[in-house]
Amino acid sequence: MASTTLACPVRLAGGVSARPGWVWCRWLVLLVGVFGLGLSSAWAGGIRIDITKGGLTPLPIAVPSFVNLGADGQIVASGTMGGQLSEVVTADLERSGLFRPINRSAFLQMPDTLWRTGPQYKEWRVIGAEAVVSGATRQEGDQVIVDFFLYDVFQGTLIGKGKRFTASSRNWRHVAHRVADEIYTRLTGETGYFTSRIAFVAQKGGSKLLAMMDQDGANRVDLTHGENLVLTPRFSPDGDNLFYISYETGGTRIFRLDLIGGGHTLQGDYPGLNSAPSWSPDGRRMALTLSKDGNPEIYSKELGSGQLSRLTNTTSINTSPSWSPDGQKIVFNSDRAGSPQLYIMSSGGGEPQRITFDGKYNSSPSWSPRGDLIAFVHGGGGRFRIAVISPDGKNMRVLTDSWMDESPTWSPNGRVILFSRQEGSRSQLYSIDLTGYNERLVPVGGDSGGSDPSWSPLIR
C-alpha cells in the first residue's frame, strides 16, 4: 500500500500544516496527568489499583462519512465505500478510549460540502467537535484510493497535511486503519496501533485452534482446525511468522508457522518440555524453555544455525522469557526463591536480578515495545491480575481486577495491553490502557472463546 502527503487543495490555501499548539498542549496535559496519577500512587507506597473508569476526558471528534468520487473526481451519490471507511475509522478511535466520536445525526454540515469547501467551523463548534475529519474515496481498477484531511475546529486550521492512501480494494479496512493511525498520531503525538493483528488461541467446543484477526476483530482466519491442542502463538518481529506450541507429535513441541508462504515446521524435538517461545527483536533468535537437562530452563536458540545456549541453571522452574526491545536483556519467571517471581538477565545469560518482591505469584512477563514497562500476571488473594512494573522493579501498578487474567501482550506502540480473562470455563480477550483505564472486551467472532493473545507489530 502506498501513502502520499497531499498538497493542500486550492480551497485550503492558508491552511497551516503544523500541528496546532492548542490541541497538542491539551493532549500533553491529559497524558501527563494520567501518568502522573500512576506515579504518585506508586510513590505513596503500596499498590494502587488503577481501575477507576472515566477519569479521562476523550476528545470529541467528528468523522463524517467519506464521500465517494467518480473517475472525474466529482462526488457521486452512489457508492458505499466512503461510509464503510469512516465507520472503521470511527470505531478505531472510539475503542482507544482517547476519542469520543460525535453522533452523526448531530452534524450540521453535510459531507459533500465539507469535502468541497472545507469545514464551516462554526457548525462543528456548535455541536462540540474539537476536531473534524473530511475524507473521500474512489476506485481505480482494483485499487481503492482514500484522501483525508484533519481539522482543528477551534483554531480553524488543518492539522498536518492531507494524506492519500492507495491499496487494493480487498484491503480497504487496512486503509481505514491507516487513516485512524494518522489521526491518532496527529492528536496524541504517539504512534497509532490500528494497523495491526492479533494471533490467539480460539476455543471452539472442546478444542483449541490457532486463529488470527485484525486488532478490531475483523478478518478472522483460522490457522489450524482443532485436531491438535495448540497454545501460546507469538508473532515474529516482522509479523510474517508465528511460533506456537502444538501437541501434534504427542508432547509440547514448538512450531513455526509461515503466514505468507503457509506451512509449519517443527523447531527442534528435545525430550520433555518445549515451551514459551519468544522471538528476539532482531528476529534471529528464539528464547524458549526446555526441560531436557532435568528441569525447565531457559535457552536461546540461533534460528539460522540451530545452536542452543543455556541461559539459566537452577533446580527450579524457569520459563516465560520476554526480550527487551533492544535485545540486550530478557525478563523471565522463576521460582528459584520458592515462589514464581520475575527476574531480568542479560540475553546472553548470567546472574539475574529479581525485580518483583510483592506477592507470591508474579509470572508471564511481557516487555513493552517502548522498553519502559513490563506487563505481567500478579497473583494474590486468590486472584490473578494484570500489572505493570518498571524494569528496575519500581512503580508496580495493578491494572485489572478479576480472578484469572493472564497472557498480557502489548500494542505495537506500547500503550495498550491485551490479555485473556477466564470467565467460568472459557476465556475472552480484553484490552486495557496502560493507565488502567478503558478496559474493553475484544470480540473474537462466532461463539468462540479466545486466549493466549499475541499482538503483531504494525503492518504497513
Partner 1 sequence: MKRFGWLVVALVSLGLLSGCGSTPKTGVEGDQAGLEAGKDGKGLGRVGGNSSNLNDPSRQGAGSYHYDVNVEPEHRVYFEYNSALINDRAAQVLAHNAGWILAHGPKGTLTIEGHCDERGTREYNLALGQQRADAVVHFLVAQGLPANRLKAVSYGKERPLVPSHDEAAWSKNRRGEIVLR
* Span from 18-26, 180-188, 217-225, 242-250 in contact with partner 1 (CB under 8 A): 242-250
**226 touches partner 1 (CB under 8 A):** no
Quick one: 336 or 370, whose CB is closer to partner 1?
A: 336
Bridging pattern class, strands 67-69 and 131-140? parallel
**147 touches partner 1 (CB under 8 A):** no
Quick one: 241 or 318, whose CB is closer to partner 1?
A: 318
Out of 184, 193, 384, 455, point to the residue binding partner 1 (CB under 8 A): 384
Cα angle, residue 116 at apex, residues 113 and 120 outer, rounded to 5°: 50
CA distance 130 to 63: 11
- Phi, then psi, of 303 in degrees rounded to 5: -70, -35
**409 touches partner 1 (CB under 8 A):** no
**295 touches partner 1 (CB under 8 A):** yes
Q: What residue has cell string 467519506? A: 66
Count of chain residues binding partner 1 (CB under 8 A)? 43
DSSP code, position 170: G
Quick one: 136 or 344, whose CB is closer to partner 1?
A: 344
133 within 8 A of 63, measured Cβ to Cβ: yes
Closest distance to partner 1 from the beta carbon of 407 (Å):
7
Out of 237, 379, 391, 450, point to the residue binding partner 1 (CB under 8 A): 379
Closest distance to partner 1 from the beta carbon of 377 (Å):
5
**402 touches partner 1 (CB under 8 A):** no
Closest distance to partner 1 from the beta carbon of 403 (Å):
8
Within 260-289, the residues that bind partner 1 by CB under 8 A are: 272-273, 275-276, 289
**450 touches partner 1 (CB under 8 A):** no
For residue 379, the cross-strand partners are 361, 384
What angle do helix axes 172-188 and 81-95 make, rounded to 10 degrees?
40
Quick one: 45 or 382, whose CB is closer to partner 1?
A: 382
Chain centre to alpha carbon of residue 277: 19
The identity of residue 84, as a single letter, is Q
**319 touches partner 1 (CB under 8 A):** yes
Helix (H, G, I), strand (E, B), or coil: what is residue 429?
strand
CA distance 374 to 364: 10
CA distance 22 to 155: 8
CA distance 400 to 404: 10
Binding site for partner 1 (CB under 8 A): 208, 229, 231-232, 245, 247, 250-252, 272-273, 275-276, 289, 291, 294-296, 315-320, 333, 335, 339-340, 361, 363-364, 377, 379, 382, 384, 404, 406-407, 422, 424-425, 451-452
